[in-house]
C-alpha cells in the first residue's frame, strides 16, 4: 500500500505543504517514523519531536509550527485524520468470500449475499443474516438471531438466541451477547433463578471488545444504542440501556436496569450500580464508583488519588473519624453562636 501526499490530503480534506508527489507507505509515531511514514501531531506536548522526527510527512493543524519539515498535510483535526487514514493502511488479513464446508446451518435460516463464514461456525434455526457479513471461526449464532448487513464477527463469539445486531457492527473474539442476567430470588431453600425472558438489541455501528459480556433482559431487552463502543472485558448487566455514541473503557461494569445517556464516556475500571439514570454528555473518570443518578452533564470522579502507603494510611484513618469530627465541629459552632 502506497499513496502520494496529494491522494492522502484529498482523503482527509487537507492541504499539502511540500511535495504532493511524495510517496507514503505506512503510518508511524513522531518518535519512530522513518522517511516512508506519515505521522501526526495531535497533542501539543509532543511538539518538540517535530525537530527530531524522521517522518516523511506529518499531519498538523498549522504549518507554521513545523518549519524544519519538508512535507506536511494541514488538516483541521490531525487525530481524526490519522484515524481515517488507518483504514487506508489496514493490514488485517482479508477473509475469503464463501461458506466453509464445516459450517453448521440450522433449519429456516435466511442467508444474505456475499457472506464470509469461517470453519466450524454454528448457525441455529431461524437465524437471519444480512449481506456482506464476515463471521470468524467457531462462532455460535443462536436461534432466531438477526444480524444486519456489513457486520463483522470475530472468532469464538457467542450470540445467544433472539439477539438482534444492527448494521456495520464489530464484535471481537470472546464476547458473549445475550447470556442470562444475574437474577435470583431468595427462598428458604436457597436461590430461585429468575428466567431471563427478553433479549439484547445492538444498534448500528456498535463495537464490542474482546471478552465483553452483554446480558439479556429479564422482561425487557438490554439495549445498546447506535455508535456505542465497548472496550475489552466490560460487563453490561440485564436491562441496561446505553444511549447513542457513548463509550465505556475496559474493566468497567454496569449493574442491572441502569440507563446511560447519549455521548457519555465511562473510563476504565468504573463501577455503576443498578437502577440509576445517567444523563447525556457525562464523563466518569477512571476507577470511580457511581452510586447515585447523575442528572447534569459534566465530569464526575470518586475515590482518592494515589499516594505513598504511609500517607494513604493516615488519610484513611482520618476518613474513619469524619463522622465524629463533623459532630465536634457542629458542637463548636453551636457554642460559638
Q: Show which residues are catalytic.
A: 238
Pull the grid cell for residue 95.
Answer: 477473509
Give the whole-angstrom CA distance, residue 190 versus residue 277.
Answer: 31
Give the whole-angstrom CA distance, residue 167 versus residue 151.
Answer: 6
Give the whole-angstrom CA distance, residue 148 versus residue 166.
Answer: 5
Give the whole-angstrom CA distance, residue 127 versus residue 139.
Answer: 14
Rounded to the nearest 5°, which phi and psi values hold at 158? -115, 120
3-state helix, strand and coil shares in percent for the chain, rounded to the nearest 5: 15, 30, 55
Give the whole-angstrom CA distance, residue 267 versus residue 276.
Answer: 17
Give the whole-angstrom CA distance, residue 47 versus residue 60.
Answer: 10
Q: Are 36 and 56 in contact (CB under 8 A)?
A: yes
Rounded to the nearest 5°, which phi and psi values hold at 218? -80, -55
User: For strand 134-135 and strand 152-153, is the pairing parallel, antiparallel, or unpaired?
Assistant: parallel
User: For strand 170-171 and strand 128-129, is the pairing parallel, antiparallel, or unpaired?
Assistant: unpaired
Give the whole-angstrom CA distance, residue 219 versus residue 242.
Answer: 17
Q: Which own/partner contact pairs does 246-251 have at CB distance under 8 Å and 24+ positions apart?
A: 249/286, 250/209
Pull the grid cell for residue 194.
Answer: 429468575
Q: Give the strand order in the sheet containing 241-242.
A: 110-111, 128-129, 146-147, 164-165, 200-202, 222-224, 241-242, 259-260, 277-278
Q: What is the CA radius of gyration of the chain?
A: 26
Amino acid at each position: 500500500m502506497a499513496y502520494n501526499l496529494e491522494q492522502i490530503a484529498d482523503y482527509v480534506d487537507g492541504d499539502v505543504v511540500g511535495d504532493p508527489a511524495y510517496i507514503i507507505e505506512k503510518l508511524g509515531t513522531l518518535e519512530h517514523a522513518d522517511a516512508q511514514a506519515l505521522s501526526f501531531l495531535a497533542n501539543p506536548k509532543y511538539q518538540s519531536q517535530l525537530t527530531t522526527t524522521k517522518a516523511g510527512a506529518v499531519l498538523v493543524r498549522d504549518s507554521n509550527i513545523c518549519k524544519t519539515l519538508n512535507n506536511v498535510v494541514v488538516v483541521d483535526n490531525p487525530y481524526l485524520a490519522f484515524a481515517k487514514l488507518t483504514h487506508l493502511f489496514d493490514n488485517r488479513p482479508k477473509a475469503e468470500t464463501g461458506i466453509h464446508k464445516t459450517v453448521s446451518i440450522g433449519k429456516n435460516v435466511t442467508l444474505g449475499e456475499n457472506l464470509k463464514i469461517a470453519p466450524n461456525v454454528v448457525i441455529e434455526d431461524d437465524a437471519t443474516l444480512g449481506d456482506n457479513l464476515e463471521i470468524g471461526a467457531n462462532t455460535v449464532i443462536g436461534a432466531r438471531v438477526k444480524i444486519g448487513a456489513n457486520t463483522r464477527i470475530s472468532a469464538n463469539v457467542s450470540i445467544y438466541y433472539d439477539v438482534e445486531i444492527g448494521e456495520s457492527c464489530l464484535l471481537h473474539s470472546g464476547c458473549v451477547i445475550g447470556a442470562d442476567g444475574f437474577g435470583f430470588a431468595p427462598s428458604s431453600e436457597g436461590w430461585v433463578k429468575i428466567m431471563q425472558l427478553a433479549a439484547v438489541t445492538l444498534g448500528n455501528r456498535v463495537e464490542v471488545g474482546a471478552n465483553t459480556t452483554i446480558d439479556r433482559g429479564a422482561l425487557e431487552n438490554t439495549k445498546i444504542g447506535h455508535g456505542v463502543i465497548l472496550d475489552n472485558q466490560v460487563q453490561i448487566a440485564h436491562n441496561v440501556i446505553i444511549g447513542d455514541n457513548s463509550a465505556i473503557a475496559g474493566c468497567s461494569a454496569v449493574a442491572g436496569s441502569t440507563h446511560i445517556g447519549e455521548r457519555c464516556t465511562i473510563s476504565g475500571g468504573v463501577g455503576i450500580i443498578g437502577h440509576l439514570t445517567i444523563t447525556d454528555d457525562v464523563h466518569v473518570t477512571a476507577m470511580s464508583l457511581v452510586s447515585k443518578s447523575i442528572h447534569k452533564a459534566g465530569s464526575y470522579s470518586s475515590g482518592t488519588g494515589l499516594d505513598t502507603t504511609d500517607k494513604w494510611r493516615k488519610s484513611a484513618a482520618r476518613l474513619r473519624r469524619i463522622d465524629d469530627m463533623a459532630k465536634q465541629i457542629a458542637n463548636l459552632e453551636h457554642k460559638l453562636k
